[in-house]
Every structure is written in C-alpha cells, then in structure tokens.
Structure 1
Amino acid sequence: MDMDMPVNVPVDDPNADTEWNDILRKHGVIPEKPKDPEPLIQEALLEAQKRAHENRLEDKDLDELHELEDEEDEEFLDQYRQRRLAELSRLQRKSVYGQVFPLQKPDYARDVTEESNKAFVLVNLTSSLGTNVESRVLSDLWRQAAAKFGDVKFCEIRANLCIEGYPEKNTPTILVYKDGDIKRQLVTLRELNGPKTNLRDLEGILVDVGAIQENDMRLRRKDSDDESSKPAAGDDEDDDDDDWD
C-alpha cells in the first residue's frame, strides 16, 4: 500500500461538535470550527450602548447641565462641568483675535506670513468691484467666524490691492496660512456651497486644515441648522477659475 496516498476520512458535518471531529481538528484534517458571531455582536452592541450612555452629556453646555441636576448623578455632572470650564478657559486664553483684520499690502508679510507661526491665519481676497455675490457672502461669514473662533486670525483685503491684476472671476479666494506657508487655497466658493455657503461649510474647512479640532465645543449646536443645498449638477463653472494670471 502506498503510504503517501491521501486517506479519505468520512466527515458528515465538519462543524458538528463531535468527539470524532475534535480528533480531526486536533490533527489538522479539518479546519477549526468557525466561532459563533452572535456573542461578538452582542458584545459590540452592549459596548456601543455603554459609550452612548457615558457620552450622553457631550453636547450639553453649562446651562443645560444645570437643568439636569435632578436627573443625573451629582458627581458625574460635576465632572462634566469641570471639563467644560477647563475647555472654556483654554479657549479664552487662546482667543486673542476675535475680529476681521483689514490688510495692507506692505504689512502682509508681518500680519499674515509671520503671524501664521503663532496661529492659523485665513485671508479673504475679496471682490475688487464689490458686485460679486459670493464675495459678499464670504465677507459676512468671515465676521461670524472671526467672532466665534478667536484663536484663528481672519484677515481681508481687496484682491486687486493684494495682487495687481487679480481676476475678478476668481474672487473670493481663501488662503489658509500656517507656519509661514499656504496650507490650503480655495478659488471662489465652488468647492463649498457657492452663494449658499454657510458658517457650517466654513467650519468644515477649519476642521479639514486642523485650525480647530473636530470635537471643538464651539461646533456643538443646540438647534438644528438648515442644511444648505448643494449647487445643481447642471451648474457650469468656468474651468479656468483657478488661473492666477
């Protein structure tokens, strides 16, 4: 008899819990029985419920925490209050700007490039004619964002005063500076929501570039903001909007 010939081992059900199958698994004749996913699923669900319960106060401000005194454990609430107060204190220490700073070209290097070594600096190159709808929208959002995120410096300058001959069709242009370099550039608001761009869209840019953290308490909202609709798919934009010439 050829000892190298494979032996056909009868296996009725390789997943059955039998003594014979245990012997076959031990010797590697059949693979290990797949683990029942049910306990893992249940464990994951319980963990998700636990995390949801532990984080149930994450979107609450100090006033809302005060209203929950009769419903939540006092020590647990106090921990959240202390965390909120510490976060507020940290933000207040870093909030040294708080307004839109008008730029002059001779001071650009000092007020933007050098200042970006201390904080994120965002520059809005606005319409030179004052008739650009998107430019007016962004200027208004610039004021809102500057007041809300005082640790980020928001600057504004007419495009033609900053760059001679800058195309009007490229306004507004957003330049994001950090550590002396441009980290992000958006020509017009077409990457956001066009003339329907809102503060939430701008906040998304701040998060993307790292100017604010995704879990920043200032991003929490008590009320549900209306989502701005995206530009229609058929809306055409000039392909050369990114030209700087």
Structure 2
Amino acid sequence: MFVDTGTNMRSDGVVTTEFHDQLVKRGIIEDDTPPEPEPAVKIDGRYFRPDDQIVQSSSELEEDEEEERIFLEKYKEQKMQQIKQEQKRNKFGRVFTITEPDYTKEVTEASKDADVVLLLT
C-alpha cells in the first residue's frame, strides 16, 4: 500500500515538505537552496570568478604551500626550544630533606650536573 507523506525532493537532494514548498512559493520564507557557483574564467594565467574572487594559479598555490611549510618548521623549532628551556628550568629549584644515606646521591652526584646549595640544620 502506498501512502503519500507530502514530501518532495529538490534537485540538490534535500527533502522538503509540501508545506515548506508552499511557504517558499508564496514568499513567506526564503528559499534556502544554495546558489549554483558560477564557473571561473581564466585571464592572463589567473582565474577570476564573476564575484571578483581571485583564484590563484597553481604555481602561486605551490609557493604559498612552501611558505606555510617553512613557517611551520620554524614554529616547531621555536616550540621545541621553549620546551627544552622549560624542562631545564624545572630541573632546578627543588627543596627537600635528605638523610645521611641519600647525601652521596643527592649532593655529590647531582653537583656534577648543576650547583647544589645545602642548608645544614
């Protein structure tokens, strides 16, 4: 048995109801169908669209990609240096109590890598 549900399918594949179609037809609501993009026109090696948006040529796009890659590499290197400095800074500044058995490890061996300050009480 076939039952009409009152739905229609537009050319762009969107399903609408008859009620929605009538509202659009009578001008109560605007049609939300996206406009078809107009094709680009090639002029002097560049592509132009009727709405004056410039589409760059493939060589310019490749240059932009190269500049972006170089920027990202520099940014990555800068972040790595910041992380290393942060790790180095976090190495210092600990204050903790040690006992006689820990003295050799915590003071003598640690002083090979960095300065050690003791407060004997």
TM range (shorter): 0.3 to 0.5
TM-score by length of 1: 0.18
Q: RCO higher in 1 or 2 (8 Å CA, sep ≥ 6)?
A: 1
